[in-house]
C-alpha cells in the first residue's frame, strides 16, 4: 500500500474506502471486508449518518485481532451546524463515541459553509450563517483545541478553494495537512493541486470516479460519464485493467489520496489493486487532456435565493 507523508510527518494510505451513501448494514459489511482485503484508510463523516455502524465494524476487527487501531487511518468531518468554536469538540467526541475510537487520525471541516445549530440540512436562506458572522478561523480554532487535547492527530479541510485555504494557512496555529475535494480527470484541479504542493498541503480526491450513484436531486441532465470516457476505455484495454483502475491509478500517480466508495467486496478489491501497475507519462498526459472543469458535487444545494452563499463565493470562481 502506497502512503503519503503529511506535513506533520504522519503517513496516510493513498487508497482509502469512502463511506458516503453507504446504506444501513452495507457499510458495516464493507468496512469489515475492506479491512480484511488490506484497506487501512477509512473515510467517514458525521453527515453520512453511518458512523455508528462503522464503529461496530471497527470494534469487531480490533477484538478479532484482524488489525490494531494503530494500523488504521480514520478520517471524519465536522458538519456545518457545528461551526461555533465551542461546538467543535462535542461534535468530534460524538463521532469518536460512534466510531468506538479514542482519537481520529484526521479531522476535516466538511464545507466552508455554516448553518444554524438546530438545522440538519438547510432548506432556505434563514437556515444559514454567513462567513462574516461566523468566520472559518473561529471554527478552525475549535479544531485546534481538539488537536491539542489529542482527539485528532491531524487537521484539515474539505471543499476549500485556493483562496480560502491560503487565508487559513496564514491564520492557523496548527497548519492544515489536507484539503479533500472533488477531483478526477473531468475536474483535474491542476491550479489547486500545484498550490497545495507548493504549500505542503495534501489533497484527497472524493467522487474520484464521477459519483454517478449520488442522490437523484444532485444529478444533472446529460452529465458526462467519466467511467465511459473514450480515452479512459482505450487505456483500460491497453493495460488490461478496468476503467476505474485507470482513473484511480492516475490519481495516485499525481500524488493525491483517493477514496472511492463501494459496498461490493469485489469492487473494493479491484480499487485497492489499482496501484499495482504504472501508467506511462504519455498516458497520464492523455488523461490530463480530458479535463472539462466539471463538478458533479457542485455545492448548489447550499445556494438558495437570498442566502449568503453562491456557487461563485463557495468556490471563489469568477470573483
Nearest residue to 307 (alpha-carbon basis) of 137, 139, 123:
123
Is pLDDT of 205 > 80? Answer: yes
> What are the contacts of 243-247 at 24+ separation with CB within 8 A?
244/209, 244/270, 244/271, 244/274, 245/270, 245/271, 245/273, 245/274, 246/274, 246/279, 246/287, 247/184, 247/185, 247/208, 247/209, 247/287
Query: Rounded CA gap, 199 and 167, in Å?
Result: 12
pTM surpassing 0.85?
Answer: yes
Lowest mean pLDDT among 20-34, 114-128, 156-170: 20-34
At the topology level of CATH, where does 3-214+253-265+291-315 sit? TIM Barrel (3.20.20)
**Hey, where are the domains in the chain?**
3-214+253-265+291-315
Residue 48 appears among annotated catalytic residues: yes
pLDDT band at 197 (very low <50, low <70, confident <90, very high): very high
Is pLDDT of 212 > 70? Answer: no
Which of residues 97 and 219 earns the better pLDDT score? 97
Alpha helices by DSSP H, the chain: 26-37, 51-63, 85-99, 136-148, 162-171, 190-198, 230-239, 243-253, 265-272, 281-288, 311-315
Phi/psi for 289 (5° steps) reads -75, -5
pLDDT in tens, 222-251: 788 999 999 999 999 999 999 999 999 999
Q: Residue 62 corresponds to which cell in the numbers above?
A: 480490533
Q: Residue 225 corresponds to which cell in the numbers above?
A: 460519464
* pLDDT at residue number 43: 98
Alpha carbon of residue 25 to chain centroid: 22
pLDDT in tens, 164-189: 999 999 999 999 999 999 999 999 99
**Residue 96, helix vs strand vs coil:** helix
Active-site hit among 28, 39, 48, 140: 48
pLDDT band at 319 (very low <50, low <70, confident <90, very high): very low
pLDDT band at 317 (very low <50, low <70, confident <90, very high): confident
Let me know: does 177 contact 10? Beta carbons within 8 Å.
yes
Q: Per residue in 139-164, is it b (16+ CB within 10 Å) or e — as a string?
A: bbbbbbbbbeeebbbbbbbbbbbbeb
Section 295-301 average pLDDT: 93
* pLDDT at residue number 310: 96
Lowest mean pLDDT among 21-30, 85-94, 181-190, 193-202: 21-30
Amino acid at each position: 500500500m502506497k502512503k503519503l507523508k503529511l506535513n506533520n510527518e504522519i503517513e496516510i494510505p493513498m487508497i482509502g474506502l469512502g463511506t458516503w451513501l453507504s446504506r444501513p448494514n452495507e457499510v458495516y459489511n464493507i468496512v469489515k471486508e475492506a479491512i480484511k482485503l488490506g484497506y487501512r484508510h477509512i473515510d467517514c463523516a458525521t453527515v453520512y449518518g453511518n458512523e455508528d455502524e462503522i464503529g461496530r465494524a471497527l470494534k469487531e476487527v480490533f477484538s478479532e485481532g484482524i488489525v490494531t487501531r494503530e494500523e488504521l487511518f480514520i478520517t471524519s468531518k465536522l458538519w456545518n451546524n457545528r461551526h461555533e468554536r465551542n461546538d467543535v469538540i462535542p461534535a468530534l467526541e460524538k463521532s469518536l463515541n460512534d466510531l468506538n475510537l479514542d482519537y481520529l487520525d484526521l479531522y476535516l471541516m466538511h464545507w466552508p459553509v455554516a448553518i444554524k445549530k438546530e438545522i440538519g440540512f438547510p432548506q432556505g436562506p434563514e437556515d444559514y450563517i454567513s462567513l462574516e458572522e461566523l468566520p472559518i478561523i473561529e471554527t478552525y480554532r475549535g479544531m485546534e483545541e481538539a488537536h491539542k487535547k489529542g482527539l485528532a492527530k491531524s487537521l484539515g479541510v474539505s471543499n476549500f478553494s485556493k483562496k480560502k485555504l491560503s487565508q487559513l494557512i496564514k491564520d492557523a496555529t496548527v497548519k492544515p495537512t489536507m484539503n479533500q475535494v472533488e477531483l478526477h480527470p473531468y475536474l483535474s484541479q491542476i491550479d489547486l493541486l500545484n498550490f497545495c504542493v507548493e504549500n505542503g498541503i495534501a489533497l484527497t480526491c472524493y467522487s474520484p470516479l464521477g459519483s454517478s450513484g449520488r442522490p437523484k436531486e444532485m444529478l444533472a441532465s446529460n452529465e458526462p460519464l467519466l467511467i465511459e470516457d473514450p480515452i479512459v476505455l482505450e487505456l483500460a484495454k491497453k493495460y488490461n485493467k478496468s476503467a476505474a483502475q485507470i482513473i484511480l491509478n492516475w490519481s495516485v500517480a499525481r500524488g493525491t489520496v483517493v477514496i472511492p466508495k463501494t459496498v461490493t467486496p469485489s469492487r473494493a478489491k479491484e480499487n485497492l489493486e489499482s496501484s499495482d501497475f504504472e501508467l506511462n507519462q504519455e498516458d497520464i498526459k492523455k488523461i490530463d487532456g480530458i479535463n472539462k472543469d466539471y463538478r458533479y458535487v457542485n455545492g448548489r444545494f447550499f445556494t438558495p435565493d437570498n442566502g449568503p452563499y453562491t456557487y461563485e463565493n463557495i468556490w471563489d470562481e469568477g470573483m
